[in-house]
């Protein structure tokens, strides 16, 4: 397999884009990434998206975006992997280049959620779970995470207020990200007072519904130019677990996250402690905690202690979601995995602006879908 490099990134602000549809959002992010890479055409486009069929009534989305972005007749298709779609699209682009099928490819993660009623969006998100045995019984995306959080609190003797540091850190990091949806800091007290959505999950545990698109251009070593601020994709891996929560041996171990991270560590020889930052899938505070434990940053049951100790802040032992994460940058579902890779790339290039870490040589990004039934991880290196 050939080495693969990220040579361009682009993103739209995350939020409620009432005047922009799928085609405008997608073309805007793709265009920005192509300009950043200094290329005018690509061989292939891979689109990470979950809800275009159920919320926007638009499938064949990759063709729509190839058309809108002026990439015709490039190869283009959509990759759907629930909330991990954006990470999976980057992996598809990386695989295409690594295999030698293409020399330059672009991956765009996109979601346009504000086109749908809240009930349509909830029902769409619930299709990431087992329709026969979960969604049809009323288990929403939030409810399934709530079951994991309640059990975590029970087994580890924690209260819901103790999950606050993850949300507080995310909001603090979003202050410095001009593309973030929520740029206001929150306090531990705000977190404790936030209304419950599905007990024990409150509004401030959860990432918001929103619109956004992010894109990365990848290429082979032969196509690297002298002007490129290239970031190498040192490892890429995806793994799965049971679609339903019930059949898992242990609902507090995200096996998909563990396997995909371990494959990345095995491929590079790196250890968790050698990462300078971790772009985690913080759709809910409980998922952040379980991801830290699954990837080996914290032992089982110890993620909250790590957060309490300030370990997850910029300057801590493993800075988390340095651009605000899904929680505060926003979680345009199928785009979030691509945003993570865009943000980590900017850190590694030293172009993260107000949020720039003093040391950013290696990053782990991890996109988790379907309450842990699928995870896509990448290790990026400057």
Instruction: Please report whether residue 156 would count as binding other proteins according to CB under 8 A.
Output: no
Q: SS3 for 214? A: strand
The C-alpha atoms of residue 111 and residue 1 are separated, in whole angstroms, by 31
Contact track, other proteins, 248-287, x by CB under 8 A:
x--x------------------------------------
Count of residues binding other proteins (CB under 8 A)?
36
In angstroms, give the least distance from the CB of 202 to other proteins.
10
141-156 and 118-126 helices cross at what angle (nearest 10)?
60
Among 101, 196, 266, 354, binds other proteins (CB under 8 A): 196
- Smallest distance from the beta carbon of 250 to other proteins, in angstroms? 11
Q: Which stretch binds other proteins (CB under 8 A): 6-14, 68-76, 116-124, 261-269?
A: 116-124
65 binds other proteins (CB under 8 A): no
For the bound state, the minimum distance from the C-beta of residue 20 to other proteins, rounded and expressed in Å, comes to 27
Based on the shown chain and the rule CB under 8 A, indicate whether residue 77 belongs to the binding site for other proteins. Answer: no
Is there a catalytic annotation at residue 83? yes
Nearest Cα to 336, choosing from 85, 95, 127? Answer: 85
Residue closer to other proteins (CB basis): 64 or 143: 143
Helix (H, G, I), strand (E, B) or coil at 279: strand
Of the candidates 76, 174, 181, 244, which one interacts with other proteins according to CB under 8 A? 244
E-strand ranges in the chain read 4-11, 44-48, 75-79, 104-112, 196-198, 201-202, 211-220, 231-240, 277-279, 362-369, 374-381
- Give the span between the Cα atoms of 129 and 178, in whole angstroms: 33
| Selected binder of other proteins within 146, 186, 238, 287 (CB under 8 A) | 146
Q: Minimal distance in Å, beta carbon 199 to other proteins? A: 5
- Report which secondary-structure segment, H or E, holds 32: helix 22-37
CB-CB contact of 245 with 134 (8 Å) = yes
- Among residues 122 and 220, whose Cβ is nearest to other proteins? 122
CA distance 284 to 380: 24
In this chain, which stretch among 125-133, 181-189, 291-299, 355-363 interacts with other proteins, using CB under 8 A? 125-133
Which CB, 196 or 354, lies closer to other proteins?
Answer: 196
Q: From the CB of 346, what's the least distance to other proteins, in Å?
A: 35
The stretch near other proteins (CB under 8 A) out of 133-141, 300-308, 327-335, 342-350 is 133-141
Catalytic residue, from 17, 171, 281, 331: name it. 331
Residue 119 touching other proteins (CB under 8 A): yes
Please answer whether residues 347 and 360 qualify as being in contact, where contact means their C-beta atoms are separated by less than 8 angstroms. yes
Q: 316: burial class by Cβ within 10 Å (0-12, 13-18, 19+)?
A: middle
Contacts of 319 (CB under 8 A, 6+ apart): 276, 277, 278, 312, 313, 357
Q: Which is nearer to other proteins, 251 or 280 (CB)?
A: 251
- Residue 274 has what DSSP assignment? G
Is 317 known to be catalytic? no
Residue 84: name the closest of 135, 122, 48, 124 by CA: 48
Q: Residue 359 in contact with residue 317, Cβ under 8 Å?
A: no
Query: Can you tell me the distance from the alpha carbon of 289 to that of 303, in angstroms, rounded to the nearest whole number?
Result: 5
Candidates 60, 199, 274, 309: give the one binding other proteins (CB under 8 A): 199
Choose which of 27, 142, 186, 287 interacts with other proteins (CB under 8 A): 142
| Cβ contact 294:254 at 8 Å | yes
CB of 57 to other proteins, least distance (A): 18
Q: What is the DSSP string of 66-101?
A: HHHTT-TTSEEEEE-BTBTHHHHHHHHHHHHHHTTS
Catalytic residue among 17, 83, 311, 371: 83
Q: Which stretch binds other proteins (CB under 8 A): 71-79, 104-112, 189-197, 254-262?
A: 189-197
Which member of 93, 245, 312, 376 binds other proteins (CB under 8 A)? Answer: 245
Task: Rule CB under 8 A: say whether 206 interacts with other proteins.
Answer: no
Does residue 48 touch other proteins according to CB under 8 A? no
Q: Which residues are annotated as catalytic?
A: 83, 331
Q: What is the binding site for other proteins (CB under 8 A)?
A: 119, 122-123, 126, 131-134, 136-140, 142-144, 146-148, 150-151, 154, 195-201, 242, 244-248, 251
């Amino acid at each position: 397999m050939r080495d693969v490099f990220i040579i361009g990134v682009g993103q739209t602000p995350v939020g409620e884009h009432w005047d922009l549809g799928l085609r405008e959002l997608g073309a805007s992010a793709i265009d920005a990434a192509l300009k950043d890479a200094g290329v005018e055409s690509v061989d292939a486009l891979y689109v990470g998206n979950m809800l275009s069929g159920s919320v926007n009534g638009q499938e064949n989305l990759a063709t729509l975006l190839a058309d809108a972005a002026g990439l015709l007749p490039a190869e283009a298709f959509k990759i759907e992997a629930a909330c991990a779609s954006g990470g999976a699209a980057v992996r598809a682009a990386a695989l295409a280049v690594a295999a030698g099928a293409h020399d330059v490819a672009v991956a765009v993660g996109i979601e346009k959620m504000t086109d749908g009623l809240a009930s349509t969006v909830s029902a769409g998100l619930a299709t990431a779970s087992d329709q026969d045995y979960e969604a049809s019984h009323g288990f929403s995306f939030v409810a399934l995470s709530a079951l994991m959080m309640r059990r975590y609190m029970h087994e580890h003797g924690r209260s819901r207020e103790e999950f606050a540091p993850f949300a507080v850190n995310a909001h603090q990091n979003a202050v410095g990200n001009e593309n973030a949806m929520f740029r206001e800091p929150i306090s531990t007290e705000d977190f404790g007072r936030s209304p419950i959505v599905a007990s024990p999950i409150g509004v401030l545990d959860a990432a918001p519904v929103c619109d956004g698109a992010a894109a990365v251009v990848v290429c082979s070593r032969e196509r690297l130019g002298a002007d490129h601020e290239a970031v190498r994709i040192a490892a890429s891996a995806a793994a799965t677990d049971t679609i339903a929560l019930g059949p898992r041996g242990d609902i507090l171990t995200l096996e998909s996250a563990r396997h995909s991270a371990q494959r990345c560590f095995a491929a590079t020889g790196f250890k968790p402690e050698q990462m300078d930052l971790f772009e985690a899938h913080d759709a809910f505070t409980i998922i952040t905690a379980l991801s830290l434990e699954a990837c080996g940053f914290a032992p089982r049951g110890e993620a909250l202690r790590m957060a309490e100790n300030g370990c997850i802040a910029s300057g801590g032992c493993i800075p988390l979601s340095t651009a605000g994460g899904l929680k505060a940058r926003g979680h345009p579902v199928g785009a979030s995995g691509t945003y993570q890779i865009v943000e980590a790339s900017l850190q590694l290039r030293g172009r993260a602006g107000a949020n720039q870490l003093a040391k950013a040589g290696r990053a782990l990004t991890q996109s988790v879908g379907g309450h842990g039934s699928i995870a896509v991880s990448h290790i990026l290196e400057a």
